[in-house]
Amino acid sequence: MHFALTEEQQMIADTARAFATSELAPVAAELEGPNGRRLLLGHLKKLAELGFMGLNIDAQYGGTEAGVTAFSLAITELAKACASTAVTVSVSNMVAEVIQAVGSDAQKQHYLPKLCSGEFAAGGFCLTESNAGSDPAGMKTRAVKDGDHYVLSGSKIYITSAEYAGVFVVWAVTDSSAKKGKGISCFLVDANTPGLTIGKAEEKMGQKASATNEVHFNECRIPASQMLGTENDGFRIAVAELAGGRIGIGSLALGIGQAAMDYAARYIAEREQFNQPLINFQGLQWMMADRATELEAARLLLMQAAWLKENQQPFAKAASMAKLFASEKANDACYTALQLLGGAGYIKEYPLERMARDVRITTIYEGTSEIQRIVIARELLKELAQG
């Protein structure tokens, strides 16, 4: 497979890198403080103006039409400086792609320009519930038909960008008598819809600048025209979009891991012990070599998954493999980098402390590593059965 980037893909990567270096990196630590939300929203508006909120969205809706590979490259570059910004961009792109994939013409014309332009600071992806995380088909949120409306009741948890999302893609059970996973539908719900309320921001271990909240639906009435796709076909939509989202999160993890090892390499090249730079010691060189090899393998898995999706090929297994490997190895990279800094790595003055916290969630959200292994094994068994 030919992995050379096109001129447009390289331009997207270079632009993301330049933005991360000039805008994100200088205030990455400050983003976790009291001014973090204001800074984040300002960055999101600038990224929208640069075309990063609709990277795989058609130009007629204000998108960039750069494709999945460019999306992966952009998320990696942004994550090198700020994982909170990168995850917001990733999820918002995923919301836009759901609308483009299954939305009506009217839905696409109304919502996609608002997401791509930054009129909506972000989009929300409302799937997870307190008893329906790794098993989203077990959701309890209901949507009951009432004339030409649906009435939504229930709650979603761990929703990225909930506080400033302009629109939410929401999954709810529309046929409780159907087989599990078969009676679920998908809806577009505007943030200002009566009955929709946002819970308090979660106090998280990492990625603190990115808001994560519960979203509650208390007899929330929405027009039937707000349904995405067809009734009771929502779970299939969720599964398809989660596969694409895994490319984003794998790319994010890769960026954090690369940034951690780059920082550690520069640090040990300057710090001396036993009258010589630490980087001269073979034991440390081998640690760097192992992590560099793993991160390069992760990059190639992500490129393969992105290429398959971009070319309308089956990509679910490739996306799960890429997300599993990239997130696990990025965690290893951050902890190795912290170890290379020694005591300094544990101090907030240095960025490794934040990177180690930010990377930890990547093996959990968009499907845990354990769920990725289930998906991969299932696909392998299908291939075996097909001969």
**What would the two tokens of residue 325 be?**
């490997």
Angle between helices 316-341 and 369-385 in degrees, nearest 10: 140
Concatenated DSSP letters for 109-142?
A: HHHHHHHHHTSSSEEEEE--BTTBSS-GGG---E
Residue 291 CA to its chain's centroid (Å) = 23
- Do 228 and 234 form a contact (C-beta atoms < 8 A)? yes
Contact 169, 188 (CB under 8 A): yes
What 3-state DSSP class applies to 158? strand
- Pair of tokens at residue 321: 């493999």
Q: For residue 111, what are the CA distances in angstroms to 124, 189, 244?
A: 12, 11, 20
- Token pair belonging to 357: 């916290």
Catalytic residues: 366
